[in-house]
């Protein structure tokens, strides 16, 4: 079971699962039909391939950590997985492209802007943004790093399902306050997880002079002055929004669970944790958030 867990988390299939779960939550929370299976297959394959390629090429794998060791000892497995994921993404993407070409050709400029902003940001996360400095990318801006990751994740799981529904139905993409709030809620929630994840990389980031919040402020100040205030702000903003829209009290309580668990997990970070704790528990909060969001809608439509 431990070997399976390591393979599942280190090969980034868990991230693919989180992307799918959060995307499906968007459909439920915003009251739109589920996207077709081929869309989810493309999303899963692309997400896992991107994360694995990024991790495989990072110089940090030269450091003696558990995930680096796994990549080195499972090099063939990773290569086969990447090849299958790449082919799957190309095939699924091509089928979707030709199937919805008529609608794609009629997309508005604003639709294209939303469609391209998030993958471009993901590309610039690792690629240079300065011709004079090839290592100067969005990832090198330590304090900005978690917000860039969260921005891409929030866009993919909150906006893309709606854009695809526009392709299917040919209707206008209505970005009302509900969509904006849902994007913001995902953005705050995932940003906190990203800052928590930087705790794991404190030593490497410090040696590389990457000024993340943890490197700048230290662990306790990051927890008390950055993460806790963000978590409480997100939680109370959520409560105000749901009360304003008259959500059923039970639905509010169910959707409050991820924020409560987030605060509990944040408190637990005062002690050293294993990498599997970061992957399974901290990032696992994304799955819990999706499950609570879907459950709240199913029980109280």
What per-residue confidence (pLDDT) applies to 279?
86
CA torsion 60→63→65→68, rounded to 10°?
A: 60
pLDDT score recorded for residue 59: 46
pTM of the full predicted structure?
A: 0.91
Half-sphere exposure of 210 (CA within 13 A, CB side): 22
- Return the beta strands (E) in 169-219 as ranges: none
78, two tokens: 């990773």
Spell out, as residue ranges, where the chain has pLDDT lower than 50: 59, 61
Please tell me the number of Cα atoms within 13 Å of 146 on its side-chain side.
Answer: 23
pLDDT digits (tens, 9 = 90+) for 237-260: 888 888 877 888 888 999 999 999
Q: What's the chain's average pLDDT? A: 87
From CA 263, how far away is CA 232, in angstroms rounded? 8
pLDDT in tens, 59-117: 454 556 788 888 888 889 999 999 999 999 999 999 999 988 878 877 788 888 888 99
List CB contacts of 128: < 8 A, sequence separation 6 or more. Answer: 134, 135, 136, 137
């Amino acid at each position: 079971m431990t070997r399976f867990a390591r393979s599942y988390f280190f090969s980034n299939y868990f991230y693919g699962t989180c992307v799918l779960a959060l995307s499906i939550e968007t459909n439920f929370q915003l009251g739109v039909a589920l996207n077709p299976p081929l869309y989810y297959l493309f999303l899963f394959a692309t997400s896992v391939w991107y994360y694995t390629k990024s991790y495989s090429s990072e110089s940090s794998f030269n450091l003696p950590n558990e995930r680096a060791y796994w990549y080195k000892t499972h090099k063939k497995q990773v290569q086969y997985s990447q090849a299958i994921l790449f082919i799957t993404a190309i095939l699924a993407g091509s089928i979707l492209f030709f199937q919805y070409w008529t609608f794609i050709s009629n997309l508005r400029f604003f639709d294209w802007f939303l469609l391209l902003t998030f993958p471009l940001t993901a590309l610039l996360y690792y690629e240079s943004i300065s011709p004079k400095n090839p290592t100067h990318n969005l990832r090198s801006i330590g304090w900005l790093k978690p917000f860039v990751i969260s921005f891409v994740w929030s866009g993919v799981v909150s906006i893309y399902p709606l854009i695809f529904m526009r392709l299917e139905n040919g209707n206008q993409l209505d970005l009302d306050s509900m969509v904006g709030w849902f994007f913001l809620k995902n953005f705050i929630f995932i940003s906190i997880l990203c800052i928590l994840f930087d705790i794991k990389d404190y030593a490497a980031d410090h040696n590389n002079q990457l000024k993340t919040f943890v490197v700048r402020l230290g662990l306790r100040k990051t927890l008390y002055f950055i993460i806790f205030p963000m978590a409480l702000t997100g939680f109370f903003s959520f409560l105000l929004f749901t009360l304003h829209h008259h959500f059923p009290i039970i639905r509010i309580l169910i959707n409050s669970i991820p924020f409560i668990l987030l605060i509990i997990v944040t408190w637990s970070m005062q002690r050293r944790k294993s990498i599997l704790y970061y992957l399974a528990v901290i990032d696992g909060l994304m799955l819990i958030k999706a499950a609570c969001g879907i459950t709240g809608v199913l029980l109280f439509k």
